[in-house]
Amino acid sequence: MSLLEEQAPGDPYQLFSKWFGEAMDAGAPQPDAMTLATAGEEGPSARMVLYKGLRKGSFIFYTNYDSRKGRDISHDRRAALVFYWSVTRHQVRVYGVVHKIKREDAAVYFATRPRGAQLSALASPQSRVVRSRGVLERRVLELAELHPETVPLPRTWGGYALRPVWIEFWESREDRLHDRLRYTVNDRGIWRMERLAP
């Protein structure tokens, strides 16, 4: 199916939600996986994180604030996301500015995570050098004993919201004459659509 201006919605979030739903329905492996690219004092860096929904026009993800990505965002709040679903031949690129979400909101989400994931988040000094896997495993066991009922939200763990400046939609076409539509938002929150050459 071609990605044409006259068929695309004026609101990029509608198109994103449609494509995300299609990827899930088509059985895309881990459709909520997205590449997060940041730049900090150590230079550029990219990694996969999990998309946790749209909230007030921002893409949400969670991590350790002391991790490499957290340090990068503290240095430069600009970041980029990439979603790629090969099964539907779609890619979405997002560029914008990142800010932390409220700690209360992070606590609500943290409480929904499996206990094992909660303990791992509390035990792991993410992106730091550790002596061995055994050190981490022992720390998880210690914390499980220390918190038999409820695992507390780690002080350094929480959520981020990336507010887009632009969102680009890419659809694969024959002979590599792909479709690319980019939505750019102005200061009044109005989106402009434009076609990019492939």
The residue written with tokens 């299609």 in the block is: 22
What percent of the chain lies above the pLDDT cut of 70? 99
Q: For the residues 89-113, what does the mean pLDDT come to?
A: 97
* Amino acid at site 183: Y
For residue 148, how far is the Cα from the chain centroid?
A: 31
- The confidence score (pLDDT) of residue 121 equals 95
CB-based contacts of 1, cutoff 8 Å, min separation 6: 171
Q: The tokens of 70 are what? A: 């957290």
Is residue 148 assigned to a domain?
no
Is residue 70 assigned to a domain?
yes
- The confidence score (pLDDT) of residue 127 equals 87
Band (188; pLDDT cuts 50, 70, 90) = very high
Is residue 67 assigned to a domain?
yes
Angle of helix 133-146 relative to helix 115-123, nearest 10 degrees, comes to 120
Number of domains in the chain: 1
- The confidence score (pLDDT) of residue 1 equals 54
Residue 5 has pLDDT above 80, yes or no: yes
Give dist(CA 83, CA 59) in Å, integer: 12
pLDDT, mean over the chain: 96
Is residue 76 assigned to a domain?
yes
- The confidence score (pLDDT) of residue 24 equals 98
Range of the domain at 56: 12-111+158-195
- Identify the CATH number of the domain in which residue 165 sits: 2.30.110.10
DSSP reduced 3-state for 92: strand
Is residue 2 assigned to a domain?
no
**pLDDT tens profile 8-57:** 999 999 999 999 999 999 999 999 999 999 999 999 999 999 999 999 99
Q: For the residues 158-173, what does the mean pLDDT come to?
A: 97
**pLDDT tens profile 111-137:** 999 999 999 999 999 889 999 999 999
Give dist(CA 49, CA 9) in Å, integer: 27
Give dist(CA 196, CA 198) in Å, integer: 6
